Structure formats: structure tokens, C-alpha cells
Chains A and B, each alone.
Chain A
Amino acid sequence: MAYEPVLTKFVNEPNSYTLDFYLKHQRGYEGLRKALTLQPNDLIEQVKASGLRGRGGAGFPTGMKWQFVLKDTPKPKYICCNADESEPGTFKDHVLMERNPHLLIEGCAISCYAIGAKVAYIYIRGEFFHVQEILEAEIDKAYKAGYLGKNILGSGFDCDVYVHRGAGAYEAGEETALIESLEGKRAQPRIKPPFPAVAGLYQCPTAVNNVETLCNVPLIVMNGAEWFSSIGPEKNGGPKLFCISGHVKRPGVYEASMHTTLRELIYEQAGGMIDERPLKAVIPGGSSVPILLPEQLDTPASFDHIQKAGSLLGSAGLIVMNDSVCMVWLAMNLLHFYRHESCGKCTPCREGSDWLFKLLRRVEAGEGQPKDLDLLFGVSNNIVGKTLCAFGDAAATPVLTTMKLFRHEYEAHVREGRCTLPASWRAEHPIFAAH
């Protein structure tokens, strides 16, 4: 049975981002209209029943997150939409916000109603200025049409949605760091508990949800929880966006159910490998998750299946690599990223990521010694689990996973004093020359 996209069906149509188009083709704001006739609690129950899991990386059930938001408090409540999308290999929210912004705006309004918030802040990464322009223009239109603002659709419910622009910080994608950044501070994570549901933005109860998560909310309200959970395997329901990049013919965002296997995503949706070179490795969920090997490609791309296979679905950013890629170089490239983006709050992560990068650079340049490999392993294991947020684990993962699966490449670098992958690919395919 062919899968019919719902989130991204129209993204390639001209003007798909406009309010008129949304109302005409996507039953625009019907979900909001329906939601406002329900009790907020029933709405939360419905989202719980749908089994919607957060699309940002952790896969935590959204309904539960909303239920945890403190009810009996005189303080205002907030929705923070995480549009910081900075996980290497992830670009789904980019497309959603740029081409289907009203779905997100509607999702924000419904979510606010569900948890009793009156304001939603969309925290967008600073680099996405072209996306922000579109989003803000469309928010204006939603205000003028009465879908946002005071007394929405005559229900007496007030809701404001604002876009807040970040300024270049991967760490701002962590929910408490995002809140800190929204408060006008450095984007550094907080000690949990208290969780944002109790004391989040301005110490008020807050729900932080990913863009794709909020975009699914109007669909659930409109079509029902059963419809949603019937798409995809048990506990992994709903449409899912997969970002495929790297050495494939047609990189891009593809929508599928989580029944779809990695092989189908890579070889059917993304058109297979460039020049039909063999696939060496795939990172299934953004740079922070362990690598999967070619023999694992028949794993369905669901949260649970990928986890069983030894990795994580994360943000569903598939980075596909052919046989020309040196795994020591890969770890070095990613550690350069983590070293740069570490917020500096926890010592193991701040110092460890820098140390790992320097070690990797040495090994990659052929100047490593056998003891460096043990040191890489030791430093990595001293970061994992010793930091406030998941960044530390993420930073150690590229090293641990490549050392586990491709230790022979590390050893070869040390033994031969150079990269031992066939040098010919570099001359043949200069565009892929990575080092």
C-alpha cells in the first residue's frame, strides 16, 4: 500500500505556504476549530491515545509531557516550540516551517489551548532567517484571519504566537538550554529536576515541543487518535519525516510511516547510492547516534526497531556514507562539531570533547600511537553519563561507535602512519574528496 504523505504532501507546490492554500487544500484550521469545542483534558487524552512521540530526538510521548504541565498554579503557562534544528543531518523542520507554516501555527494554538497557555514562542535558529521571514508573515495573516490573537473563532480563547530568533548555538536545542536562551542568557542546560513542566520559561510551567511534533497535533485532532496510531508500527504511530543526506542520488526530506525500512528509504526514496558505490555505514538519527551497518538496512525506521538494532532514531536524520569514507575522519569531523558546540558548563564535555578531537586529529594524520586508542576509549567513557544534558553522550558516541565497529581502521592509521583507504577514490571523484 502506497503511503500518502500528510505533512509534506504539498511542499513542492507553488504558494503552499500561504493561508489561502492551507485553507483550501489542507482543511486548514479545522483542527483548531474542533479542538476549541473540546475540554483541554480531553484533548490531552486524545494526544495520549494517539501515541504521538516527540520528533525532536528523545521520542518521549507528547501527551504525557503535556499532562505533566502543572495545572494548579496562578502562574502563566507557556509552549516553546523547538525550531532550533541543529542536529547535523537534520533539516525536516526547515522544510515544514518554510513550506507549511500554518500547520505549525495551528499546532501551536491547539497545544496552548490543551495545556492552558496563552503564549507560544517559536525558538528558531538564527541561521534560518529566510524561514523566519515566511513564518512571521504567515503568523500575521493568521492574526488577521482571527486564528490567533484575542477570542479565537469566538471561543473566548486568547493565544499569541511569537517567533524568537536564536543566534547560533547547537546547545539551544536542548529544552532547558532553549529556555535559558529565550530568557536572554547563554544557552546552557539547567539541572533537572525541576523539569520545564513545573518550572520552565520564567520559572513557569512550560512544554517544549519540536516543530514536527506540533505539526502532527492538528492532524490528530482532525482525524482522530486511531487514524494516527494506525499509521506505522505499534507505539510508533503517525507520519514521520526522514532527512536523507550524504552519498545518495536524491538527498532530501521524505515522509513515510515507521514501517518503512532503512533500505527502502535509501534505495527507493533517495534513489540509491551515487555511482552505485557500496554503502559502508549509515547514521540513522542525526550525528549523535551510533552507526548502523549495511546488514542492518532491513530494520524498520521506527523508534523501537532502530533502538533494538543498537542505535536510535533520534531526529531521523539519515547520513549515508559510501566505501570511500574513512571512519577516523568521520569521528574527527563530528568531534570538531561537538568541541565547537559544547556549551562549556560541564567539565567532562567541555574538556573531553576538545581532548577527543585532538587525539583524533593526531590519529587521522597518521601520528597516533597504540596507546592513543585506549585513551580515546577512556576519555569517551568518562564523558558518557557525567554531564547535565545528553550532549556529553552525543559527543562521545561518534568515537565509541566507530571504535566498536571499525577499530581496524584506527589500528591501520596507527600502524601505517596514514589513512589506509584506497587512495584512488579521491582522484576519481574529486567532489567527494573529504580529506
Chain B
Amino acid sequence: MDYAPARFHASARKLAEQGGDFAYTPENQAKFDAVVQRYPADQRKSAILYALYLAQGQQGYLSPAAMSHVAHHIRCTAAEVEDVVSYYTMFFTKPVGKYVINVCRTLSCALLGAERVTEQLSEVLGIAPGETDPTGTFTLLEVECLGACDRGPVLMINDTDWHERLAPENVRTFVDDLRTRGVGALTGCHLHKEGGKT
């Protein structure tokens, strides 16, 4: 008697889309191997955020395959990785646009018109906050305080570049600039450009 017909067996169930095969590039692998040394040998899990940033940088988002790859390197389960990914706001589990525009919406920026900046961006890009445009160029997100309240309304583009004091009436020019000149069109934040990097 067949106690476990194949169609009821766990292995026959359809699983979530895994995404394509994922493995770190040799370059990223070397970076991970270096950073994991910063933590005690039995505390590899501390490097998980870094490992996830590497994977996201390589692929643009974190597919289940990428999370499994990270789990393999951290030596934990894929569920533990997903637990972490689902908590932090800076990780994406779906593909996002080339430029992820994060608009700060918390009090100090809001006092200076952040809500209207989002409105304008939404109108110019033709997408609502949380969406990606059909060409895959822009994703618009509203985020909570970015920590540059004196430069409001402040934007973070992807997880690296900043643009400060964007008045709602300048949104259209800003988007055009970003389209043509890329991140070079951004002002940076504080004195970052003025004295920081030469």
C-alpha cells in the first residue's frame, strides 16, 4: 500500500518562486570573507546584514535563492535570514527600479513640504508611492526620518546617495536631471560634497 502518494508529499508541493541561481561574485565573496573576520569566530551571524547588502547590491533585490546563499555563508537556516530581511526596511524582496527614490516624510521634512514633494514626484513619474514605473527606472518610496532634518525635504536615492532641500516646485527638473545625469545630479548631504570628498 502506498502510504505517501507523490502528489501529497511535501516535495511535490509547489514552492515560492526561488529566482535564478545565485552565488556571490568572487569579488563579493572576498569582501564577505574579510568582514566576517570582524566578529568572533562563533558569531558569524553578526555579518548577516553585510552579507545581505552584498547580495542586494549584486542582484538589485533579495530573491529566495539569494537568501539561501546568504544562509549558507552565515551557516544558519534560510528562515532565519528571511526573519531578518523581513524586519529591516532597506532590503527588497522584489525587483526595484534603477533609482529607488526614498522621500523622508517625518515631521521636520513634512513641515517643509515633504508631502507635496511626494505628490509631485508621484505625478511626474506617474506612479504611487511604493510602486515602480513600467520601464524599471524609478521606484518611489516614502520613508521615515533619514536623520538630516536641517536639510529637509531630504531624499535618499538607492541606499547610498542623497539629495537635500528639494522644493516641491523643483521636482520636475530634479527628475529630468536624474534621468539624464544619473546620481551626479544629486546634491549629496550636508558638507559631503563641499569639503568631504575631493
Using a CB–CB cutoff of 8 Å, the interface residues on chain A facing chain B are 11-17, 76, 85-91, 94-95, 98-99, 125-130, 134, 160, 162, 164-170, 181-187, 202, 243-247, 251-253, 283, 287, 317, 319, 321, 325, 330, 333-334, 336-337, 340-341, 343, 430-435
Contact = CB atoms under 8 A, between A and B. Distances in A.
A113 B193 CA distance: 35
B53 A321 contact: no
B149 A243 contact: yes
Contacts of A433: 113, 115-116
B189 A130 contact: yes
Contact of B88 (A13, A14, A167, A246): A167
B191 A287 contact: no
- Of residues A130, A283, A337, which shows the largest number of chain B Cβ atoms within 10 Å of its Cβ? A130
B91 interface: yes
Given A98-B191, A166-B49, A90 B43 contact: no
B195 interface: yes
A330 B50 contact: no
Interface stretch (B23-31, B123-131, B159-167, B172-180): B159-167
A245 B113 contact: no
Interface of B: 38, 40, 43-50, 52-53, 74, 83-84, 87-91, 105-108, 110-113, 115-116, 143-152, 156, 159-162, 167-169, 188-192, 194-196, 198
Contact of A246 (B111, B144, B156, B191): B111
Contacts of B146: 127
- Of residues A86, A88, A95, which shows the largest number of chain B Cβ atoms within 10 Å of its Cβ? A88
B69 to A, nearest CB: 16
Nearest to A321: B111
- Of residues A90, A134, A333, A430, which shows the largest number of chain B Cβ atoms within 10 Å of its Cβ? A333
A167 to B, nearest CB: 4
Given A202-B43, A287-B107, A252 B150 contact: yes
- Enumerate the 6 nearest inter-chain pairs by beta-carbon distance, A residue then B residue, closest first: A184-B45, A168-B89, A167-B88, A251-B150, A245-B149, A168-B90
B145 A337 contact: yes
A184 B74 contact: yes
Contact of B53 (A165, A244, A434): A165
Contact of A337 (B144, B156, B188, B192): B144
A94 B188 contact: no
Contacts of A287: 106-107, 145
B149 A251 contact: yes
Given A86-B145, A127-B90, A432-B112, 12 more contacts: A14-B194, A126-B88, A160-B38, A164-B46, A167-B89, A169-B89, A183-B45, A184-B44, A187-B87, A244-B150, A336-B105, A435-B115
B111 A247 contact: yes
Contacts of B198: 14-15
6 contacts: A88-B149, A89-B107, A98-B196, A184-B45, A334-B106, A337-B107
A130 B160 contact: yes
Nearest to A13: B195
Nearest to B38: A162
B168 A431 contact: yes
B48 A184 contact: yes
A117 B76 CA distance: 28
B112 A330 contact: no
Contacts of B49: 126, 164-167, 181, 184
B147 A91 contact: yes
Given A14-B194, A184-B48, A91 B107 contact: no
Nearest to A344: B87
A334 B147 contact: no
A337 B106 contact: yes
B147 A127 contact: yes
A427 to B, nearest CB: 13
B150 A253 contact: yes
B111 A432 contact: yes
A17 B106 CA distance: 29
A129 B159 contact: yes
Nearest to B44: A184
